[in-house]
Structure 1
Amino acid sequence: MKSELHVPSDLKFLTIVENWLLGCLEVQFKGSVDWSMQSSRLRLVLVEAYSNVVRHAHKDQPYLPVLIRLELKDTDIVLEVWDHGKGFDLSSYLPPNPTDRQEGGYGWLIMHRLMDKVEYQLEVDGANCLKLEVTLPKVTQRAPQPV
């Protein structure tokens, strides 16, 4: 299954972004994965990615669209978030130190912890692409216990 969403760069559309993702995933995976755990994980990753585009890449430019693509195959998920901003220089990223109590900089860390693969490409056909991939664990079916 493939789906995509074009949405403005405004946090008031965050609920629409979340509902789109969770709706697509629920249709595909509800009976085959631990839905309560996996939906929270994937929602957090998308919220982080989308809000970073709105607050940083498209800062003060709500007319710029964000393109979100989703591809599902078996229990594999590929999520792409495309923006038209300046782009993020990964060479300048320093992981946050929890003892410093800094407010920002956790998004990249969160995405890497929750996903199997995280890639960021600058200037692909005039846009930047954050690509997130994960394979969800299947729910194992237990044999009925004798009474």
Structure 2
Amino acid sequence: MKTELQIPSDLKFLTVVERWLLDCLELELGDSVDWPRQSSRLRLALVEAYSNVVRHAHKEQSQIPILLRLELKNRDLALEIWDVGNGYDLDTYSAPVPERKQEGGYGWLIMKRLMDKVEYQLQVNGERNCLKLQTNLPETVS
């Protein structure tokens, strides 16, 4: 299954984005997934990615759309979040140290812990940045 959603860069659409992702997956996989557990981690990773684009890449400019692409092969999920911002140089990223009570910088860490694989590409084809989140959705254990 492949599908995509283009949506404004506005946090008021966050619930729409979450429902789109979870509804698409539930339609494909039905009751074969532990949705209470899996939806929590998928929702948190998606919220972090989407809100970072809205706040940092597009700087609250709602007229700039965000493109979300979802692909599901068997139980392997790949979610791409495309933006047209300046991008973020991961070479400059250093993980936050909680003792320093740092306010930002936790997003990358959160996404890496929740997903099996996280990739970020700057200026794909000279146009957009792509954050790709990948994971496997295990079958419900009876």
TM-score after normalising by structure 2: 0.95
Q: Secondary structure at the match of 2:40?
A: helix
Shift of 1:30: 3.2
Work out whether 1:115 is the aligned partner of 2:124: no
- Greater percentage in helix: 2
> Which amino acid counterpart does residue 85 of structure 1 have in structure 2?
G
In 1, the alpha carbon distance for the partners of 2:67 and 2:52 equals 13
Q: Rg: which structure is higher?
A: 1
Q: CA deviation at 1:8?
A: 0.6
Question: What is the CA–CA distance in structure 1 between the aligned matches of 2:135 and 2:141, rounded to whole Å?
Answer: 18
Partner of 2:50: 50
2: CA distance between counterparts of 1:89 and 1:136?
Answer: 30
Contact kept? 2:10, 2:60, Cα under 8 Å = no
Q: How far did residue 52 of structure 1 move?
A: 0.2
Partner of 2:140: 139
Q: Which residue number in structure 2 is paired with residue 25 of structure 1?
A: 25
Counterpart of 1:130 in 2: which secondary structure? strand
Partner AA of 1:64 in structure 2? I
The offset of 1:15, in angstroms, is 1.1
Instruction: Calculate the TM-score normalised by the size of structure 1.
Output: 0.92
Deviation per residue, 1:76-98 (Å, 9 max, x gap)? 10000000000011011110111
CA offset at residue 104 of structure 1? 1.1
Q: Is the 8 A contact 1:82 1:127 kept in 2?
A: yes
Runs of 4+ in 1 over 3 A off after TM superposition: none
| CA drift at 1:102 | 1.2
Gaps of 5+ in 2: none
* Mapping of residues 1-147 of structure 1, within 5 Å: 1-125=1-125, 126-141=127-142
TM-align CA RMSD: 1.0
The DSSP-based 3-state class of the residue aligned with 2:109 is helix
Q: Distance in 2 between matches of 1:82 and 1:119?
A: 12
Give 1:29 shift: 2.5
1:58-108, CA deviations, whole angstroms, 9 ceiling, x for partnerless residues? 004221110000001111100000000000110111101111111111110
Give secondary structure in 1 for the equivalent of 2:31: coil
Gaps of 5+ in 1: 142-147
The residue type equivalent to 1:20 in the other structure is W
